[in-house]
A and B are shown apart, each in its own frame.
Chain A
Amino acid sequence: DTEVTQTPKHLVMGMTNKKSLKCEQHMGHRAMYWYKQKAKKPPELMFVYSYEKLSINESVPSRFSPECPNSSLLNLHLHALQPEDSALYLCASSQENTKSGGYTFGSGTRLTVV
């Protein structure tokens, strides 16, 4: 079983749509993350849920909004996206102390905004 599950794997949406990306981790980790990755670039951190608090990268536009229903779920709500938001969206989880280990990533959602 995949330890970090993301759905959907692919998503095409119009600029006026509202959609959600879902992420669930089955590892008992206490920290979860959303990353955005453009082609041939490293992942860029968008949000962190850790120590039961949500931290936001201030450079991320408000058309992205995270939601954490519980410690194993971290969803990403999308609204009024732009074509430049097309990218691979990766969810990850880790122990809260990342010194003891790295991230486990989900397989990602490939998003295309038309």
Chain B
Amino acid sequence: RKEVEQDPGPFNVPEGATVAFNCTYSNSASQSFFWYRQDCRKEPKLLMSVYSSGNEDGRFTAQLNRASQYISLLIRDSKLSDSATYLCVVNPRTGGFKTIFGAGTRLFVKA
């Protein structure tokens, strides 16, 4: 089992749709969690951190379920500009070499 697994993609959705990505992790000692967005041939950019209480930033909502060891990202009212690869990142307390990137989920939003 991979340490961090993400939904296989690609996801193809129309503009205005709601789309959800899941990410599971195997290390129960993991301490911090993030979603990154990466556009084609660009660097990853931090989209949002993920907290146990859940957090929302505009159209984006992230949730953490420690008991089931998964995190999720919900995008509401999808825009064409949301098309990208979404990477799940899991850190232990100290980060460094134990930081794990998921393989990413590709999203295509179409008009």
Task: Determine whether B16 belongs to the interface, using a CB cutoff of 8 Å to chain A.
Answer: no
Task: Determine whether A50 belongs to the interface, using a CB cutoff of 8 Å to chain B.
Answer: yes
Interface residues on B, range: 20 to 34
Per-residue interface assignment for chain B, residues 96 to 109, with 1 indicating a CB less than 8 Å from any chain A CB and 0 otherwise = 11010111100000
Q: Secondary structure at chain B's binding surface: helix, strand, loop or mixed?
A: mixed
Per-residue interface assignment for chain A, residues 95 to 108, with 1 indicating a CB less than 8 Å from any chain B CB and 0 otherwise = 00111111111111
Per-residue interface assignment for chain A, residues 30 to 41, with 1 indicating a CB less than 8 Å from any chain B CB and 0 otherwise = 010000000001
Task: Determine whether A90 belongs to the interface, using a CB cutoff of 8 Å to chain B.
Answer: yes
Most buried by A among B32, B34, B36, B99: B99
B46 touches A102 (CB 8 A): yes
A55 touches B36 (CB 8 A): no
B104 touches A107 (CB 8 A): no
Closest to A58 in B: B97
B91 touches A42 (CB 8 A): no
B43 touches A90 (CB 8 A): yes
A101: contacting residue among B49, B94, B103, B104, CB under 8 A = B49
Task: Determine whether A43 belongs to the interface, using a CB cutoff of 8 Å to chain B.
Answer: yes
Closest 9 CB pairs of A and B: A98-B95, A42-B101, A105-B43, A102-B34, A99-B32, A102-B46, A98-B91, A48-B96, A108-B43
Q: Could you pull out 24 A-B pairs where Cβ atoms are within 8 angstroms?
A: A41-B103, A42-B87, A42-B102, A45-B96, A45-B97, A55-B96, A57-B97, A88-B41, A90-B44, A94-B95, A98-B32, A98-B95, A99-B93, A99-B95, A100-B32, A101-B46, A102-B49, A103-B44, A104-B46, A105-B43, A105-B45, A106-B43, A107-B43, A108-B42
